[in-house]
Structure 1
Amino acid sequence: MLRKWGRSIVASPPRILVLGFAAIILSGAGLLMLPFSHVQEETPRFIDTLFTATSATCVTGLVVVDTGTYWTTAGQLIIIAMIQIGGLGFMTMATLFALMLKRRISLRERLVLQEAFNQTSIEGIIRLVRKVVVYALSIELAGAILFSIRFMFDMPAGKAIYKGVFHAVSFFNNAGFDTMGNYRSLTDYVGDPLVNIVTMLLIILGGLGFVVLSDLVEIRKPGRKLSLHSKVVLSMSGFLILFGAVIIFIFEYTNTNTFASLPFGEKVLAAFTQSVSPRTAGVNSVDLAGLRQSTQFFIVILMFIGASPGSTGGGIKTTTFTALIGAMIAMIRGKEDVVLFRYRLAQERVYKALTITLFAFGLVMIASMILSTTEDHRFLMILFEVTSAFGTVGLSIGLTAKLTLAGKIIIILMMFIGRLGPLTLSYALGPRKGRVLYRHAEGKIIIG
């Protein structure tokens, strides 16, 4: 009986993903408590190491202690290892090692990979894993080289290379962790074109999703065309980046706390950086606490939408948002079908987009209400923090370091749910769905 119950707990791919991420987080939290991981002599509190490990594994970037000054080099290497595993997915890393050892990948493992990458079938899933690793390491290497060259003008070569590698891995995986010290992020490089452009490219490439990257690489082959998924991701991502930059530029142009003192070119660069970053990266080149409230709320919206499926980012995803916009337009025009790029979306996809959005919105609202009780701060600051955690963004306007114990636990849960996805978690914890043998009679209610 117990053996059967134990098998049922870990039988489904969603449950394996939940347990796998939880194991990595607990292991990382334990390693960060060891003396070689932290600068101070006293052992850090477990809640703080758990918060850091969750933030790293869930590629978020929210921190309760400063990464650059609190953790030793060994501690920072543990953090960056968790970021890499969390960004690519622990099943991707496990599959990579299995392939290196020439071990056969079982059907169950393929099903878990299918769940991890949000694929509709297991066909070609191992080829996708190989591509994921090659693309990720290649992009991170290129980013590390460019960062290292730039940082060598400001610091010794060894330190520059270390920071270059750390930030390339962190930014590509949309984690937002930095080692600049004193929570500065990239504020010292607000007007630096190379640092900002490389950062934005790493974030964008990490947030598009590996399926889209594969499509872009193979588009040069004869007869290959972009899939509908890639077209939707690229068009919506481009729109959100451009639209976000324009809105932030307008709202902050005369703000003396952020853009007012910057030359015009640096204003444009900062606006684009802050438009790209809320797509789950957690990097800031200006003081976010100094932003106008209208800008902060707009960033909350961008964080809620997030990156794209199968990527290193979180949020409800660009495809979900596109499906909802398409459904709204179809309803306004009196059409039955949601049509994107001359393709009709199945009704099931629209229902799933609606379910994910309402589920996510409910989680963010409930967590915000709870934190409004446990934390004595402005509601917008609380909403910003909760949305940042759910979207695995990592941007903060100053609340994270001031969180109470209850507040830290809530944010930890939001980061965990945001990384796995609310539907994956609900499937993992909920009962298995059986076959429906009947349908209820159709009824009508008045809508609107």
Structure 2
Amino acid sequence: MKQKWQGFCRFVSGLHPVRFVALGYVSYVLFGWLLLSLPISHGAGAVSPLDALFTSTSAVSTTGLTTVSTGRDFNGFGQLLILLLIQIGGLGYMTFGSFVVLSRSDSLSRRRQQIGKVVFSMPEEFRIDKFIRSVIVFTIAIEAAGAAALFFVFRQAGVDSPLWSSIFHSISAFCTAGFGLYDDGFEKLRGNVAANAILGILSYIGAIGFIVLVDGWRRIIGKTPRLTLTSRVILVTTAWVSLAATALFYVGEPTIQSLPPYERVTAAAFQVMTSITTVGFNTIPIGALSQASLFLIIMLMVIGASPAGTGGGLKTTTFSALFAVIRSALLGREKVTFWGKEVPEERMRVAIASIGFYAAALILGCYLLALAETLPFENLLFEAASALGTVGLSTGITAQLTPLGKLILIALMFIGRFGPLAFGIALFLPSGAKDDRSKEDLAI
């Protein structure tokens, strides 16, 4: 037995960082599945093994899609376990272990540094050891501040169990998980500007990513003269997409036209925020939205959050890179640039490959769902985009899916949390041999 364990440890330690991270996420999903399946997590018979697996995957991937009610079907222990899985999935499970190592020494092993860079998709100018320390500090401070602010708002609004609710939703918002304790989301708080603002700020901070947070802090304390190119691209892209989409939703969505002006603006801004950050909260029924608004939300879910953040989707930098490539092609330029800075060719290859992989996964997921289900295709498309983007928004069909349909969404949620990142990182791996193949042009 000891020899088998030693052999397993050697196997795991010899894995490439990409595979190591994937194995870690699978392990946490299975761990969560086991505990969520037990009666200590819910009432007897309230949650089936498949629904427990779905919930565990949704929590670790920080998606938020659910086939059962988090607030009604899971007890306090089950909800606490879901929150733990969300925190692990949102920050990356290696972050906590690395922080413990750093608290006892001044540096990480080479392997931990490699794994950390896989988890956070970090640019070269950031040091992983200092970065991880900052991630933990920022997370504790932001989630605590968010919980404190939500507590006063929830208590004033008459929300049940305001303390637990504020803690749960603060972590869920910052990790862009979208899990909530209320079956109707935050529809009752649609007109509560304070609640909308706090949840929105937490979600945006989590979505823009730790690269921007660390970079911004270094800029504030004077350690760097300006923000890095990555941070500037993230902030500008997020701002422009959010503003443009809010205007379109405000003008084009019929269900909010009868609301008071301030509530209409709040509802439009919140729904766009929840889509682009991939947090997945809602203040209006998603199933009642027009097809135009559903299509707009699908596009936002595909674009997604930012690298080294807690959100999913293609990432704002990938979306920006696509436009930069198109612009360079139209202008006849060989190099791709942002604000006069040339972007390395290998980064552009990763962006294009990620887009291709993402599109292929979404198309295949939609096709398989269409084979497995008899529900309207537009609802299945929305569900697939939400799962792959780790968003958690739904038109209300998740619980109606067949067991096969649920398994398809489980696969999409896992791919959304890990797949595009792994595919991009794989392109950086050295081939180990000189490439002597001849070149020949290809018409595009």
The bucket for the TM-score relative to the shorter chain is over 0.9
Using the TM superposition, give the Cα deviation of residue 102 of structure 1 relative to its aligned residue in structure 2, in angstroms.
Answer: 4.8
Match of 1:233 in 2: 234
1:246 alignment counterpart = 247
1:36 and 2:25 are equivalent in the alignment: no
What amino acid is the match of 1:265? Y
Q: Which moved more, 1:299-308 or 1:209-218?
A: 209-218
- Confirm or deny: 8 A CA contact 1:143 1:198 kept in the other structure: yes
Q: Is 2:263 aligned against 1:266? A: yes
Q: Which residue of 2 aligns with 1:369?
A: 367
Residue 101 of structure 1, CA deviation: 4.8
Any conservation in 1 of the 2:353–2:424 contact (CA below 8 Å)?
no
The yes-or-no answer on 1:14 pairing with 2:15 is no
Kindly report which structure 2 residues correspond to 1:63-212, keeping only aligned pairs within 5 A, or say none. 63-102=66-105, 105-121=108-124, 124-155=127-158, 159-180=161-182, 183-212=183-212
Letter in 2 for 1:405: P
Task: Kindly indicate whether residue 388 of structure 2 is the aligned counterpart of residue 390 of structure 1.
Answer: yes
- C-alpha distance in 1, partners of 2:145/2:52? 31
1:56 to 39, 56, 59: 59
**How far 1:217 sits from its partner (Å)?**
1.5
Q: Which amino acid aligns with 2:70?
A: T
Q: Using a 3 Å threshold, how does the CA distance of structure 1 residues 225 and 176 change in structure 2: closer, same or farther?
A: same
Mapped partners of 1:288, 1:12: distance in 2: 41
Moved more, 171-180 or 28-37: 28-37
Instruction: After superposition, give the CA deviation of every residue in 1:398-441 in whole Å (9 maximum; x if it has no partner).
Output: 12111111111110111111111324168689x98432331323
How many equivalent pairs are there? 437
Change (3 A) 1:337 1:63: same
Q: CA deviation at 1:387?
A: 0.7
Task: State whether residues 14 and 425 of structure 1, in contact with CA within 8 Å, keep that contact through their aligned partners in structure 2.
Answer: no
What letter corresponds to residue 232 of structure 2 in structure 1?
A: K
Inter-CA distance 72–428: structure 2 relative to 1 (3 Å threshold): farther
Take 1:154 and 1:118, find their aligned partners in 2: how far apart are those partners? 40
Deviation at 1:336, TM superposition (A): 1.5
- Structure 2 unaligned runs (5+)? none
Instruction: Give the partner amino acid of 1:214.
Output: V
Q: Using the TM superposition, give the Cα deviation of residue 43 of structure 1 relative to its aligned residue in structure 2, in angstroms.
A: 6.2
- 1:231-380 to structure 2, matched below 5 A, reads 231-252=232-253, 255=254, 258-279=255-276, 280-380=278-378
Query: RMSD over aligned Cα, in angstroms?
Result: 2.3
Q: Deviations over 1:40-73 (max 9, x none)?
A: 3226321111100000011000000011111001
Kept in 1, the 8 Å contact 2:305–2:312? The answer is yes
Q: TM-score, normalised by structure 2?
A: 0.93
* 2:108 partner SS: coil
Counterpart of 1:207 in structure 2: which amino acid? A
The unaligned stretches of length 5 or more in structure 1 are none
Deviation at 1:444, TM superposition (A): 3.8
**Percentage identity across paired residues of the two chains:** 35
Displacement of 1:33 after TM fit? Answer: 1.5
SS in 1 for 2:306: coil
User: CA 1:168 to 1:109, structure 2 compared with 1: closer, same or farther past 3 Å?
Assistant: same
CA shift for structure 1 position 237: 0.4
Instruction: Answer whether contact 1:111 1:122 (CA < 8 A) is retained.
Output: no
CA gap 1:49/1:444 in 2 versus in 1, 3 angstroms: closer
Q: Does the 8 Å CA contact 2:350/2:424 hold for their aligned counterparts?
A: no
The alpha-carbon distance between structure 1 residues 261 and 113, as it changes in their structure 2 partners (threshold 3 A), is same
Report what 1:415 is aligned to: 413
Supply the AA of the counterpart residue of 1:37.
Answer: S
Asked if structure 2 preserves the Cα contact closer than 8 Å seen for 1:305 and 1:316, the reply is yes
Please give the alpha-carbon distance, in whole angstroms, between the structure 2 residues aligned to 1:63 and 1:419: 16
